[in-house]
């Protein structure tokens, strides 16, 4: 039996802190973070991302930028410090996190919208040049344990919506077994692309990750199908980026995709290689670093640009 998984109530009512789910952005925030020390360029997430996007996108012509699910607002604070022409809007379902964003972005003239992005009106997105969704697509709804995506005239609206999306974008159903589908992530990309926003950046825990060379020794999982991850007070699912890429391609978007390590580059010194390859953890800090480097390969990004 399939079931509809949603984190809406958790984000609206229960979420008070992101302390339980350390995001890559938050791991890099403290200037003395041990995670910064193992990078070729030890810097904040927002600065590393800004430089990366500046190489791929016409950042000089970006004016209005929308961040969906901006957490504590650190990424946007870096962007606004880097480029005073940017006009930012933060859209988030969580009242608690919007308050944190208001505090951290106080010096800047930022607009705030408390909304569930799945309910956001597509027409209200057309004004933006760039939208950023960092580590939140896994929070969006999932239809889990689907046995057959073609349930005829199912009375179940999510099942009908899954069938519509598979048919509209030519997505392939897994050859065997029940499967999970990132329904909310697919609807979000469909909405963003149909709104006509020229540039998009998405990143999330991938179910198709790859770790090359020495990083094959890390615990990077690649199951090909969204997997459930239990977290404090809620669960999320890893994301199938191939599906999102196909949806964006149908709207004429060119895409670039890879692991976060493309722009948060580890410096493979003998010390880091020891941490990656040694089974035993000698110090707590080594475990923090190993998990961080795992995340740099477990998380993928997608940069989309309208054709």
Q: Does 68 bind ligand SAM (CB under 6 A)?
A: yes
Nearby residues of 8 by Cβ (< 8 Å), 6 or more positions away = 93, 116, 141
Q: Does 116 bind ligand SAM (CB under 6 A)?
A: yes
In the complex, the smallest distance separating the C-beta of residue 69 from ligand SAM, rounded to whole angstroms, is 2
Q: What's the chain's length in residues?
A: 307
Closer to ligand SAM at the Cβ: 11 or 286? 11
Closer to ligand SAM at the Cβ: 70 or 226? 70
- Sign of torsion, CA 228 230 231 234? positive
Residue 54 has phi, psi (to 5 degrees) of -65, -25
- Give the one residue of 2, 134, 206, 240 binding ligand SAM; rule: CB under 6 A: 134
Instruction: Retrieve residue 116's tokens.
Output: 């569930």
Closer to ligand SAM at the Cβ: 275 or 304? 304
**Strand 87-92 versus strand 64-68 pairing type:** parallel
Q: Does 54 bind ligand SAM (CB under 6 A)?
A: no
- Give the one residue of 46, 69, 226, 266 binding ligand SAM; rule: CB under 6 A: 69
Closer to ligand SAM at the Cβ: 26 or 180? 26
Task: Count the neighbouring beta carbons within 10 Å of the beta carbon of residue 303.
Answer: 21
Closer to ligand SAM at the Cβ: 217 or 257? 257
Burial class (CB in 10 A: 0-12, 13-18, 19+), 12: middle
Footprint of ligand SAM on 137-196 (CB under 6 A): 139-140
Separation of alpha carbons 132 and 117, rounded Å: 12
Q: Does 298 bind ligand SAM (CB under 6 A)?
A: no
Stretch that binds ligand SAM, among 86-94, 149-157, 169-177, 248-256 (CB under 6 A): 86-94
How many residues in the shown chain lie near ligand SAM by CB under 6 A? Answer: 22
Closer to ligand SAM at the Cβ: 3 or 20? 20
- Give the one residue of 46, 71, 158, 226 binding ligand SAM; rule: CB under 6 A: 71
Stretch that binds ligand SAM, among 90-98, 165-173, 175-183, 210-218 (CB under 6 A): 90-98
Q: Does 70 bind ligand SAM (CB under 6 A)?
A: yes
**Which x/- pattern over 3-42 shows residues binding ligand SAM (rule: CB under 6 A)?**
--------x------x--x-x-xx----------------
Separation of alpha carbons 3 and 295, rounded Å: 28
Return residues touching ligand SAM (CB under 6 A): 11, 18, 21, 23, 25-26, 68-71, 92-94, 97, 116-118, 134-136, 139-140
């Amino acid at each position: 039996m399939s079931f509809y998984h949603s984190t809406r109530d958790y984000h609206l009512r229960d979420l008070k802190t992101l302390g339980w789910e350390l995001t890559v952005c938050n791991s890099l925030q403290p200037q003395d973070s041990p995670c910064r020390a193992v990078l070729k360029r030890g810097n904040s997430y927002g600065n590393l991302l800004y430089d990366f996007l500046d190489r791929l996108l016409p950042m000089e012509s970006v004016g209005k930028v929308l961040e969906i699910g901006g957490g504590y607002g650190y990424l946007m604070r870096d962007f606004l410090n880097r480029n005073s022409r940017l006009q930012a809007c933060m859209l988030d379902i969580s009242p608690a996190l919007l308050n944190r964003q208001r505090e951290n972005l106080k010096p800047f003239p930022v607009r705030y919208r408390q909304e569930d992005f799945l309910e956001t009106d597509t027409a209200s997105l057309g004004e933006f040049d760039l939208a950023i969704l960092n580590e939140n697509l896994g929070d969006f709804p999932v239809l889990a344990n689907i046995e057959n995506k073609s349930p005829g005239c199912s009375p179940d609206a999510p099942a009908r919506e899954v069938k519509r999306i598979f048919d509209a974008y030519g997505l392939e159903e897994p050859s065997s077994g029940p499967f999970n589908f990132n329904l909310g992530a697919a609807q979000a990309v469909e909405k963003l692309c149909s709104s006509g926003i020229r540039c998009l950046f998405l990143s999330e825990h991938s179910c198709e990750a790859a770790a090359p060379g020495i990083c094959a020794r890390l615990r990077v999982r690649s199951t090909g199908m969204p997997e459930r991850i239990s977290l404090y007070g809620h669960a999320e699912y890893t994301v199938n980026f191939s599906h999102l890429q196909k949806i964006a391609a149908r709207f004429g978007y060119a895409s670039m995709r890879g692991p976060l390590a493309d722009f948060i580059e580890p410096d493979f010194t003998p010390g880091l290689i020891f941490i990656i390859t040694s089974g035993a953890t000698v110090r707590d800090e080594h475990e923090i670093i190993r998990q961080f480097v795992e995340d740099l390969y477990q998380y993928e990004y997608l940069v989309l640009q309208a054709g």
